[in-house]
Copies of this chain bind each other. A is one copy, B any other.
Amino acid sequence: MDEVTSSLPEAPDSVREADAPRDSALAHFGNDQPLKLDAGVSLSPFQIAYRTYGALNAERSNAVLICHALTGDQHVVGTHPVTKKSGWWETLVGPGKPVDTDRYFVICSNVVGGCMGTSGPASINPATGKPWGLEFPVITIRDMVRAQAMLLDHLGIDTLFAVVGGSMGGMQVLQWAESYPERVFAALPIACATRHSAQNIAFHEVGRQAIMADPEWRGGRYHLEGTNPRRGLAVARMGAHITYLSDAALHRKFGRKFQDRENPTFSFDADFQVESYLRHQGISFVERFDANSYLYLTRAMDYFDLAADHNGVLANAFRGAPTRFCVISFTSDWLFPTSESRAIVHALNASSARVSFAEIVSDKGHDAFLLDEPEMFGIVRGFLDGASKARGLKSTKAV
């Protein structure tokens, strides 16, 4: 599973490898290639950090784009340069895995607004020479996808064999099918929705308020002022993390078990195991994530509303799309419940698109898409196998 970036065509702009996080490649887009944003402004210059796995075939037809979730990044497989943990989707992606890197050329890029090498609020604003902070333009899911399309152009890939993602990644999958239907042969949106619900927005807003309430946030200028809203970001992460798990999963994992003892301490220490677990989630998150990026990416999810761009008729978002879809949800996911996936399927049916749908029984909540879910693995493998036959994929040789 070697990086094959070197076998790809030369980048049109200089690739500043020195700026890329270890293990990532970097595509730099100069002033001649601005990223036009929904906010009505352009981002230019900008850069995208990405990783690839497997080899692009001679026909350049076996590329699979993985879209990461809110707190994910391009490190799908392999050791993460910051956390030293294994990639976030090694359950699904790799040699012999459902997204088989022996067959497919897998690409994953850090989203615009992120903090793992792609331009975001922690990057240097070329106009000032200082970190952007809140001067960075507010971005949308569509902007993320626009940037990814520019990366594909950069890599010389016209059409994706498949685009796959869960949660915010799933939103990008749907946006791909809407924005560039002719460039997506197969789409796998998992545990997502075509719009963020009021409850979803509410949870995100609490996280943002936790960050902005931290005096070290300094109106977003903490990089300049040498502070870091770690406590606010940790609280945001803790709250969000609860929404990623089901009540049943929390009960099974922790129940009401105390830490290392049988009785309460009658204090405000982390008395219950679930408290200690959440605190750990918060503390470890701030080591790898930028607080302003958290604001920008949650905002992008909140703004996502595919139907709104089509006079409220979701089916029109996919009208005439040649893409084949496989929509997956999980029974215990209360953040993006199955009803949201059904709405996608109904819209796809109404637009005469080719779609299959699976609701997987799991008590693991929203995070199930990242975990050991054999039924999901089987469905993804089967769907991609079928699509690869339809696509006539043969070779796995690199260009």
Also in contact, A242 and B278, with CB within 8 A (given A137-B266, A235-B210, A235-B213)? no
Known contacts A40-B266, A197-B250, A198-B254, then 17 further A-B pairs from the complex at CB < 8 Å, ordered by chain A residue: A138-B267, A197-B251, A198-B251, A198-B253, A199-B250, A201-B272, A203-B242, A205-B278, A206-B239, A206-B242, A208-B268, A210-B210, A210-B213, A213-B214, A213-B231, A215-B215, A271-B302
**254-303 of chain A: CB within 8 A of chain B:** 254-256, 264, 266-268, 270-272, 274-275, 278-279, 282, 295, 299, 302-303
Could you tell me how many residues of chain A have their Cβ less than 8 Å away from some Cβ of chain B? 57
Interface string of A212-243 (1 = CB under 8 A from B): 11110000000000000001101100110010
Bound state CA distance, A299 and B269, in angstroms? 10
Q: What DSSP secondary structure best describes chain A's contact surface? A: helix
A295 proximity list for chain B (CB < 8 A): 268
A196 within 8 A of B: yes
Bound state CA distance, A245 and B195, in angstroms? 20
Q: Which residue of B lies closest to A203 (CB)?
A: B242
A278 proximity list for chain B (CB < 8 A): 202, 205-206, 209
Q: Within the complex, what minimum Cβ distance (angstroms) separates A271 from chain B?
A: 8
Q: Which residue of B lies closest to A246 (CB)?
A: B199
Bound state CA distance, A275 and B203, in angstroms? 9
Name, among A206, A215, A235, A242, the residue most crowded by chain B CB atoms within 10 Å (CB to CB): A206
Q: Within the complex, what minimum Cβ distance (angstroms) separates A35 from chain B?
A: 15
Q: Within the complex, what minimum Cβ distance (angstroms) separates A210 from chain B?
A: 5
B198 touches A302 (CB 8 A): no
A334 proximity list for chain B (CB < 8 A): 247, 334
* Cross-interface CB contact of A202 among B210, B250, B305, cutoff 8 Å: B250
Q: Which residue of B lies closest to A37 (CB)?
A: B266
**308-330 of chain A: CB within 8 A of chain B:** 308
A127 proximity list for chain B (CB < 8 A): none
Q: List 19 A-B contacts (CB under 8 A).
A: A137-B266, A138-B266, A197-B247, A198-B247, A198-B251, A198-B254, A198-B274, A199-B247, A201-B272, A201-B275, A202-B278, A206-B238, A206-B278, A209-B235, A209-B238, A210-B210, A210-B235, A215-B215, A268-B295
A360 within 8 A of B: no
Residues of A within 8 A of B (CB): 38-40, 134, 137-138, 195-199, 201-203, 205-206, 208-210, 212-215, 231-232, 234-235, 238-239, 242, 245, 247, 250-251, 253-256, 264, 266-268, 270-272, 274-275, 278-279, 282, 295, 299, 302-303, 305, 308, 334
A235 touches B206 (CB 8 A): yes
Bound state CA distance, A215 and B230, in angstroms? 12
Name, among A210, A215, A245, A299, the residue most crowded by chain B CB atoms within 10 Å (CB to CB): A210
A197 proximity list for chain B (CB < 8 A): 247, 250-251, 256
Also in contact, A242 and B212, with CB within 8 A (given A138-B267, A235-B206)? no
Name, among A232, A245, A275, A302, the residue most crowded by chain B CB atoms within 10 Å (CB to CB): A275
Q: Which residue of B lies closest to A265 (CB)?
A: B138
A195 touches B256 (CB 8 A): yes
Also in contact, A275 and B238, with CB within 8 A (given A196-B256, A231-B213, A303-B264)? no
